[in-house]
Amino acid sequence: MAKRTAKIATLAAWLALFTLWGCNQASMDVPFGRQSIVTEGAVSYETHILPLFQRSCSTCHNASSAIPNWLSYEVAYSKRDRIHERVVVRRDMPMVGTLTQEERDLVAAWIAAGAPKTLPAGIEPAPAPPAPLPTATSPAPAPSPVADAPTTSTGPINYVTQIQPLFSLKCSMCHNPSSAVPNWLDYNVAFANRAKIRDRIFVRRDMPLIGSLTDEERKLVADWVDAGAPYAPEGGAVPPPPSPAPPPSPKPLTYDDLMKPRIFGAVCIACHNGSNDLPNWQSYSVVCREIDKIYREVVERKTMPKDMPFADSERQLMADWIRAGAPESTTSGPCDRLN
């Protein structure tokens, strides 16, 4: 009888030990000292994660984008390891906007719990962290693509009250002051490029690369350009035009100076951006490694890029750069794969 009692006690001790180990494993992805989200309740996609993704990630990760749609539970669940890597470990996402530490911990807790879609009946949900407040260096969270703000207003068509708000909402991920492509949030830049804007948005309809514009919004841009691209409503002050600049000297035919700003960072970034399983063309080392494939698909077969037009001049530029050795900069040699 005594031996049987001892065996039961030993078994109970081992069971307690494994239970403790399992609890530690469930919270291992949440930084020490930040366990409140896990201990105060359970985390689910519909209650906690979807609202966070809608507020902070939907500018890029939406149903109209070429990259994974985090607003779909099935897609988010299948990519949960990548989400954990980019949001919790590397902390380099989102590219537009920001997440608080509490929100990153919430994502970590959700994935550590198995990334459930809903909470079982009777389980108390964890409190959601407050949304970050906009700051001078942190843009306000983008609105949900399902409920965009209106883009038309009464009065004469103009940049201040109609076009700039539209560009800020739909185009600023690429066309902003920190980007290598033209900044449409600057009136003088938009005015100087008004013919190109009209062509890409209204005629070719291949912009924006990420997200979408309604037919009404595309026509609004075309009407603005056709009206002379006015800055403000009647009587509004117009900013002084920029001083005439000397003609720019031709940029060197290198990845850093020409190919990334004009091709890889302006066209290919919609898909090849490091946020999915495709090669990241924003990294020169990856481009160099895949240079044979790029030449074959872009120049010879003309099968890339997919779902958007690519001018013959752009394909010729790619061919000239690769035939010149595909250099990264003016001080580097040719791509190793071409030696």
Q: Which position has the higher pLDDT, 117 or 66?
A: 117
Q: Are 251 and 222 in contact (CB under 8 A)?
A: no
208 preceded by a cis bond (ω within 30 of 0): yes
Contact 138, 132 (CB under 8 A): yes
* Helix intervals (H) in the chain: 2-26, 36-39, 50-56, 73-78, 80-83, 101-112, 164-170, 187-192, 194-198, 215-226, 284-289, 291-294, 312-323
The whole-number pLDDT of residue 142 equals 41
pLDDT at 73: 93
Residue 338, pLDDT above cutoff 60:
yes
For the stretch 302-333, pLDDT in tens is: 888 876 667 787 888 899 999 999 999 999 88
pLDDT in tens, 12-48: 555 444 444 444 444 444 443 334 444 445 889 988 8
The chain-wide mean pLDDT, for the chain, equals 75
In angstroms, the CA 320 to CA 338 distance is 13
What pLDDT, on a 0 to 100 scale, did the predictor assign at position 123?
63
> What one-character-per-residue DSSP string does 234-274 give?
TTPPPPPPPPPPPPPPPPPSSIIIIIIIIIITTTGGGT-SS
Please tell me the distance from the alpha carbon of residue 41 to that of residue 101, in angstroms, as a whole number. Answer: 18
Mean pLDDT, to the nearest integer, of 204-218? Answer: 83
124 band by pLDDT with thresholds 50, 70 and 90: low
Model pLDDT, residue 270: 72
pLDDT surpasses 50 at 192:
yes
Percentage, residues of the chain above pLDDT 90: 20
Spell out the domain ranges in the chain.
2-112, 159-226, 255-338
Distance separating alpha carbons of residues 25 and 172, to the nearest angstrom: 41
Q: What secondary structure letter does DSSP report for 208?
A: -
